[in-house]
Amino acid sequence: MRILFYTGKGGVGKTSVAAATALCCARRGYRTIVLSTDAAHSLGDSLGIDLQAEPIKIEENLWAQEVNTLYELEQNWGEVQRYLTDLLAWQGVETIAQGELSVIPGTEELFSLLQIKRHYDEGKFDVLVVDAAPTGETLRLLSLPDIVNWWIVRFLPFVRGALKVVRPVVRRMSDVPIANDDVINSAEEAIDALTDVRRILTKRDVCSARIVLNLEKMVIREAQRSLTYLNLFGYAVDAVIVNRVLPKEVNGHFANWRTLQQEYEPLVDQTFSPLPTLKAPHFTQEVVGLELLEQLGKELYGDQDPTKFFYEGPVQRVERTPEGFLLIIPLPFVSEEQVHLAQKSDELLISVGWHRHRILLPQSLARMQASDAFFENDEMHIVFTGLPVAEKTVS
Ligand SMILES: Nc1ncnc2c1ncn2[C@@H]1O[C@H](COP(=O)(O)OP(=O)(O)OP(=O)(O)O)[C@@H](O)[C@H]1O
Ligand SMILES: [Mg+2]
């Protein structure tokens, strides 16, 4: 399966581009599904069809789906939901309707990610196009497996062990609802699934992320930031989509906008190079319905196959040096001062702004120390030196 993931600032045209891409893929003969992970769900409006929690067929080779948190909760997480309701009721939150549990932060993201895994595992489609939420939320979504995994690896074994001992005692002493094995099993399943999702989305021969932008300063800045973060988390970005380019002949009110866009256009090409930019003009009307989406697809891809790998760039890699090893991570648009590094045995914690990524170091590096870091050609080089810990003890 090929996964195409569209992200970008609010309103730049992610949904339209995702829908247009899916249509283009379907008409090329790929069995394609387009999935909206955005709670705002405008995918249905874009396609001009009411979508549902399960995939529905739009035309030959094309399916679409809007992930619905409530539906997913009821279908697959009844046990967990009942437990949470009990727990909330015990705390005095009697009035909470079952459905309101879906407002717990992260739930929407969680279910969207699990749908990606479901389609990947089922293998019914050749192409999965993901219409993601605006950048910030998407990055949160993509780093979710990281965060959840970190907590769980540390606490779940403890919780499980502790519950066996504590449960009978607590039962006698208080009426606090205790999670039963089903609940814990469900939680464990979800965590394994999240780990799988992360593995799928970082497979460079499967998933490409594409950043959608418009020719405006703030939008471009945000696109740069998200490229940094996507690299940080190891997701492959293979193209930048420049949407809503004003035609040369505009005048009057929009002439000034056109001048600004003309200044930014070459800048975007340079800044994001070597990533290719795919462009679409500002249409004379809203891009809704299959006919206009088809046109948008043609503008973006021309004769090219949207599933091709538009760029296969450098990836995180390890190189040997006389003193030890170098861990090299492509991180464009950041300077040394913005990055913070910390190492704790086999884990390297990299922070850029608000985003943190924990890299589990390969064995060869885990036994050494990160002693220095520097930037070269938009790549962060982390220097690992020192005798492996085992050898140190021997000497
Ligand atoms: N190239 C274009 N020309 C004209 N209108 C466009 C173009 N691309 C998108 N639009 C219109 O702009 C509006 C916003 O587009 P869209 O919903 O695809 O953006 P989005 O990035 O998904 O927004 P959100 O962040 O809210 O999810 C829609 O009305 C859409 O029809
Ligand atoms: Mg959208």
- pLDDT digits 0-9 by tens, 257-276: 999 999 999 989 888 888 99
Residue nearest to atom 25 of ligand 1 (CA): 10
Name the percent of the chain lying above pLDDT 90: 39
pTM for this structure? 0.81
| Per-residue model confidence as pLDDT tens digits over 149-192 | 666 565 555 555 655 655 655 555 566 666 667 777 777 777 77
For residue 131, give the ligand 1 atom closest to its CA: 22
Residue nearest to atom 19 of ligand 1 (CA): 13
Beta strands 347-352 and 355-360, pairing class: antiparallel
For residue 243, give the ligand 1 atom closest to its CA: 1
How many Å separate Cα 237 from the centre of its chain? 11
Q: How far apart are CA 63 and CA 34, in angstroms?
A: 6
* Ligand 1 pocket by Cβ (under 6 Å): 10-16, 38, 40, 42, 134, 243-244, 280, 282-283, 286-288
For residue 38, give the ligand 1 atom closest to its CA: 27
Distance 22 CA to ligand 2 centre (A): 14
Q: How far apart are CA 339 and CA 352, in angstroms?
A: 5
For residue 296, give the ligand 1 atom closest to its CA: 1
**Residue 230: how many other CB atoms lie within 10 Å:** 20
Q: Check whether 387 has a pLDDT greater than 60.
A: no
Q: Check whether 392 has a pLDDT greater than 50.
A: no
Exposure of 325 in the CB half-sphere (CA atoms within 13 A): 17
Residue nearest to atom 11 of ligand 1 (CA): 286
Contact 378, 330 (CB under 8 A): yes
For residue 46, give the ligand 1 atom closest to its CA: 31
Residues with CB under 5 A from ligand 2 (ion): 14-15, 42
Residue nearest to atom 4 of ligand 1 (CA): 283
The residue to mutate among 5, 9, 15, having the most atoms of ligand 1 within 8 angstroms of its beta carbon, is: 15
Distance 297 CA to ligand 2 centre (A): 16
Q: What is the pLDDT of residue 395?
A: 30
Q: How far apart are CA 53 and CA 70, in angstroms?
A: 9
Name the percent of the chain lying above pLDDT 70: 76
Distance 48 CA to ligand 2 centre (A): 14
The residue type at 340 = H
| Domains of the chain, CATH where assigned | 2-301 (3.40.50.300), 317-394 (2.60.40.790)
Identify the nearest ligand to the CA of 16 by its number.
1
